[in-house]
């Protein structure tokens, strides 16, 4: 489709809600260049900040250090965006479909309140990954977020549906006030994991320090994880064959609320 | 024009089959033993809709299953869509959920679906939960052994029930061996099952009886012991008859199964193969034996 190369890096945030396959669809480069963008409080057009080329590929490619470029792919419903470099805040926030791949790190609120599609981040993600904005009732509600590095605080906060996979560590309040969905963390979890969660599942491979309002249930083999791991393996994730047949310690919580959430901790063959 | 295979006459007739509703259920378990146990239990007492409300059978053992464990696929058929929902809930609930280590998945892609896991979930008494994986919803029902996993919806489709053929032999031994060979060959055909014990029926029936309370009774025309007493369909020397009934997810599966079965059944000691019908007035499908045999690969 189109390649956009950032002309310069500003200390001001560049807001680009118009960078979505939906907005670019069937538009020539000249028209795409006129789509709105906001540098700080100064209104401009994409052409002011990006060198835009049409390479006839069905993918939007972004190049340069986009760490201050916000809202890339926000609200998109279809298509694909590939970012070579870091991406700023609100990447794919509220997206409903399509796919975003970031070969770098992202800022806060990546995939916040998304309702579909897939975000793949090869680096680290900031805070509020797949989470809910302040005052919102729901965070992510369907879709998949995959982070190969670490993720920040409040990952999956108020999550309603969907799957977040983090290969690295996740900071504090992962799955806080979670309503449903699944968070899978290959690394370590920070403090207050699942605080206030009503339903939903947090799966981890390292024993987290859980709140006193989580109760230990048992060691068992959750059948649905076999399906989940199989699905993730088909997407190229490093899922070990033994995990599906392995046992998990189950903790129910958070009993400060409904207590129908769960934290599953890999227990190998401990039974 | 007559058709003879290995000296066995294939009668130029047809099996009269009926429209049914069918589905495919995949059962997995910790090992083959328990997957088969659940499948055998679920397909028990499911030989004929006349007395069992449904017809079911094991279609095949599976190497590739949704959760990667040993699995078995089961086909189940009923006369109506509503019946299918009831029978699935009964049989999965009583025979699969109760069986240690099992999980239960939809095995039929179809636009028409029934909510089965979505109803059985209430057994969880509020502690059930669901997961949406790959666009499919699965229910996790807590049970004493751990957790029963079942897919929310099962695909259904209009199917074909009551395909059949009859093997007429010199004696019981030859007829039984031919029937067993036929069933073994038919098991290789996907999308079809033979719902009777071991795939074989010895007590084929006709519609109605002399008793008002009985809607079906023995097929006297094919009972060798009655050859001299009734208007028999048997010739002298046809001393034993066994029937194979076939249900399939579509007509093609039934035809393929019929073809495989008849070919395998043509062994020494078998005199004739025919099929049961009602003159073509009742069923929606006619499986012509000659046509079925000629459509396949060369004999």
Q: Judge whether A94 lies within some domain.
A: yes
How large is the average pLDDT for residues B211-229? 95
Q: Does A223 lie in the same domain as A174?
A: yes
The answer to the question of residue A174 being in a domain is yes
Band of the pLDDT at B295, cuts 50, 70, 90?
A: confident
Percent of chain A with pLDDT over 90: 84
Structure tokens at B215: 């809607």
| 3-state DSSP assignment of residue B177 | helix
CA angle A250, A252, A253 (to 5 degrees): 145
Q: Rounded to an integer, what distance in angstroms lies between the CA atom of residue B23 and that of residue B55?
A: 11
B contacts of A143 (beta carbons < 8 Å): none
pLDDT digits (tens, 9 = 90+) for B129-165: 999 998 899 999 999 999 999 999 999 999 999 999 9
Host domain of residue A23: 1-55
In a domain, A189, yes or no: yes
Residues 6+ apart with CB under 8 A from B135: none
State the pLDDT at residue A271.
46
Domain of residue A219, CATH code: 2.160.20.60
- Which of A179, A196, A194 minimizes the C-alpha distance to A250? A194
Contact B253, B132 (CB under 8 A): no
- Shared domain check, A144 and A26: no
- Mean pLDDT within A239-254: 88
Q: What percent of chain B has pLDDT over 70?
A: 98
The pLDDT of A217-236, averaged and rounded, is 92
Residues A105 and A140 in one domain: yes
Q: Report, in angstroms and rounded to the nearest whole number, the Rg of chain B calculated over CA atoms.
A: 21
Do A78 and A201 fall within a single domain?
yes
Query: Do residues A27 and A101 share a domain?
Result: no
Is B67 within 8 Å of A230 when comparing Cβ atoms?
A: yes
- CA–CA dist B157, B249 (Å, integer): 7
Question: Residue A260: its chain B contacts at CB < 8 A?
Answer: 127, 129
Q: Which residues contact B6 (CB under 8 A, 6 or more apart)?
A: B266, B267, B268
- Residue A109: inside a domain: yes
Identify any residues that bridge with A152 across adjacent strands, giving them in sequence order.
none
**Chain A partners within 8 Å of B133 (Cβ):** 163, 224, 227-228, 231
Contact of A81 with A16, CB cutoff 8 Å: no
Q: Are residues A5 and A108 in the same domain?
A: no
Number of neighbours of residue B95 by Cβ within 10 angstroms: 21
Residues A141 and A229 in one domain: yes
Cβ-Cβ contacts under 8 Å between A and B: the total is 48
Residues A39 and A173 both lie in one domain:
no
Nearest to A224 among B68, B127, B138 (CB): B138
Q: Chain A: residue nearest B126 by CA?
A: A260
Q: How far apart (Å, rounded) are the C-alpha atoms in residues A71 and A257? A: 33
A231 in any annotated domain: yes
Q: Which of A53-67, A201-215, B168-182, B203-217 has the lowest mean pLDDT?
A: A53-67
Whether residue A27 is contained in a domain is answered as: yes
Q: Would you call B157 helix, strand, or coil by DSSP?
A: strand
My answer on whether A177 and A236 are in the same domain is: yes
* A64, part of any domain: no
- Nearest Cα to Cα of residue A19 among A30, A33, A7: A33
Give the C-alpha separation, A173 to A153, whole Å.
Answer: 6
Lowest mean pLDDT: which of A28-37, A56-65, B25-34, B115-124? Answer: A56-65
Interface contact A182-B131, CB threshold 8 A:
yes
Six token digits for residue B22: 């069918």
As a whole number of angstroms, the distance between CA A102 and CA A16 comes to: 16
Whether the CB-CB separation of B230 and B221 falls below 8 Å is answered with yes
Mean predicted confidence (pLDDT) in A18-46 = 91
Q: Do A226 and B67 touch (CB under 8 A)?
A: yes
C-beta atoms surrounding A68 within 10 Å: 19
Contact call for residues B77 and B54 (beta carbons, < 8 A): yes
Q: Evaluate whether A48 touches A70 at the Cβ level (below 8 Å).
A: no
Q: Using an 8 Å Cβ cutoff, are B249 and B107 in contact? A: no
CB B27 within 8 A of CB B149: no
Q: DSSP alpha helices (H): ranges in A118-171?
A: none
Q: How far is CA A134 from the centre of its chain?
A: 17
B149 and A224 in contact by Cβ < 8 A? yes
Q: Which residues of A113-147 are buried (b: 16+ CB within 10 A; e: fewer)?
A: bbbbbbbbbbbbbbbbbbbbbeeeebbbbbbbbbb
Strand, coil or helix: B178? helix
The CA distance from B131 to B271, in Å, is 57
| Burial tier of B286 (Cβ tally within 10 Å: 0-12, 13-18, 19+) | middle
**pLDDT tens-place string over residues B92-116:** 999 999 999 999 999 999 999 999 9
Considering the domain architecture, whether residues A17 and A113 belong to the same structural domain is answered as: no
Same domain, A263 and A237: yes
For residue A132, give the DSSP letter.
Answer: -
> Among B69, B127, B133, whose Cβ lies nearest the Cβ of A224?
B133
Residue in B closest to A220 by C-alpha: B146
Kindly state whether A206 is in contact with chain B, defined as any CB-CB distance less than 8 angstroms: no
* DSSP state string for B25-50: EEEE-SSHHHHHHHHHHHTTT-S-HH
Whether residue A75 sits in one domain with residue A19: no
ipTM score of complex: 0.89
Between CA A93 and CA A110 the distance in angstroms is 6
Per the domain annotation, does A63 fall within a domain?
Answer: no
Q: 3-state secondary structure string, B85-102?
A: HHHHHHHHHHHHCCCCCC
Pairing type for strands B153-169 and B270-274 reads: antiparallel
Nearest-10 crossing angle of helices B251-265, B172-186: 140
The number of helices, as runs of H, and strands, as runs of E, in chain A is: 5, 17
Helix (H, G, I), strand (E, B) or coil at B117: helix
At A125-155, the pLDDT tens digits run 999 999 999 999 999 999 999 999 999 999 9
Count: domains in chain A: 2
A215 and chain B in contact, CB less than 8 A? no
């Amino acid at each position: 489709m189109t390649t956009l190369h950032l002309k310069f890096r500003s200390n001001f945030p560049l807001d680009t809600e118009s960078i979505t396959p939906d907005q670019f669809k069937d538009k020539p480069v000249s028209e795409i260049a006129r789509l709105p963008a906001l540098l700080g409080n100064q209104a401009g057009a994409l052409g002011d900040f990006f060198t835009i080329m049409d390479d006839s590929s069905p993918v939007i490619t972004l190049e340069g250090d986009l760490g201050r470029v916000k809202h890339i792919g926000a609200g998109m419903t279809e298509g694909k965006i590939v970012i070579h470099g870091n991406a700023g805040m609100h990447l794919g926030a509220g997206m409903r479909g399509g796919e975003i791949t970031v070969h770098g790190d992202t800022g806060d609120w990546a995939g916040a309140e998304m309702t579909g599609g897939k975000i793949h981040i090869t680096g680290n993600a900031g805070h509020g990954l797949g989470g809910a904005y302040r005052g919102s009732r729901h965070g992510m509600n369907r879709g998949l977020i995959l982070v190969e590095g670490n993720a920040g605080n409040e990952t999956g906060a108020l999550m309603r549906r969907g799957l977040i996979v983090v290969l690295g560590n996740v900071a504090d309040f992962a799955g806080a006030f979670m309503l449903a969905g699944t968070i899978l963390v290959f690394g370590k979890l920070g403090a207050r994991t699942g605080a206030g969660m009503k339903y939903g599942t947090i799966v981890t491979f390292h024993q987290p320090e859980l709140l006193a309002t989580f109760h230990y249930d048992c060691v068992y083999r959750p059948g649905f994880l076999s399906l989940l791991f199989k699905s993730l393996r088909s997407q190229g994730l490093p899922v070990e064959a033994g995990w599906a047949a392995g046992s998990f310690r189950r903790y129910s919580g958070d009993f400060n609320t409904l207590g129908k959430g769960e934290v599953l901790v890999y227990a190998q063959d401990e039974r | 024009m007559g058709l003879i295979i290995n000296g066995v006459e294939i009668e130029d007739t047809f099996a009269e089959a009926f429209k049914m509703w069918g589905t495919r259920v995949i059962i997995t378990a910790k090992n083959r033993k328990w997957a088969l146990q659940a499948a055998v239990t679920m397909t028990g007492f499911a030989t004929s809709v006349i007395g069992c409300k449904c017809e079911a059978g094991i279609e095949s053992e599976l190497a590739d299953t949704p959760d990667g464990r040993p699995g078995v696929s089961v086909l189940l058929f009923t006369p109506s869509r509503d019946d299918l929902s009831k029978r699935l809930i009964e049989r999965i609930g009583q025979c699969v959920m109760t069986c240690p280590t099992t999980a239960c998945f939809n095995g039929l892609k179809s636009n028409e679906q029934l909510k089965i896991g979505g109803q059985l979930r209430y057994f969880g008494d509020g502690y059930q939960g669901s997961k949406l994986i790959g666009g499919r919803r699965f229910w996790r029902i807590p049970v004493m052994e751990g957790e029963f996993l079942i897919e929310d919806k099962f695909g259904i489709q209009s199917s074909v029930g009551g395909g059949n053929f009859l093997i007429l032999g010199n004696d019981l031994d030859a007829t039984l061996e031919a029937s067993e060979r036929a069933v073994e060959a038919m098991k290789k055909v996907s999308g079809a099952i033979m719902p009777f014990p071991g795939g074989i029926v010895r007590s084929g029936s006709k519609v109605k009886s002399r008793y008002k309370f009985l809607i079906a009774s023995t097929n006297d025309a094919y009972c060798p012991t009655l050859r001299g007493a009734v208007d028999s369909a048997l010739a002298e020397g046809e001393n034993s008859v066994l029937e194979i009934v076939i249900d399939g997810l579509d007509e093609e599966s039934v035809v393929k199964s019929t073809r495989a079965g008849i070919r395998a059944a043509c062994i020494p000691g078998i005199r004739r193969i025919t099929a049961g019908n009602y003159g073509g007035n009742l069923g929606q499908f006619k499986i012509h034996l000659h046509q079925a045999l000629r459509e396949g690969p060369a004999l």
